[in-house]
Amino acid sequence: MSKHRKSAISNYETNSRGVSAEMLTQLSRLFHVSADYILNGDSLDNLDSIVNEAIEILNNLKTDKAKKSALEVLRQIQILEG
């Protein structure tokens, strides 16, 4: 990692520098978390235990195909709930 990147990350961590909307979007995609999570540090502890279990299962899936299949099943359930 370059010296510039290390200092930028350090500035973000110490609140010496703000994060642009574009950078926030990139970080949330990179770490597979919401922008709200990055900004506020909300933990999964605040979520329902069933939601936590579902997140854990999805995070442990190995292939993109398995992740896409699991997401499709969840979408179908959501449609059924109407």
> Within a 10 A sphere around the Cβ of 11, how many other Cβ atoms?
13
Q: Over the stretch 14-56, which tens digit does the pLDDT of each residue have?
A: 877 777 888 888 888 888 888 877 777 766 566 677 887 888 8
Distance CA 58, CA 4 (A): 34
pLDDT band at 65 (very low <50, low <70, confident <90, very high): very high
pLDDT for position 10: 77
CA dist 72 and 50 (Å) reads: 18
Instruction: Give the residue from 78, 13, 14, 44 showing the smallest Cα distance to 36.
Output: 44
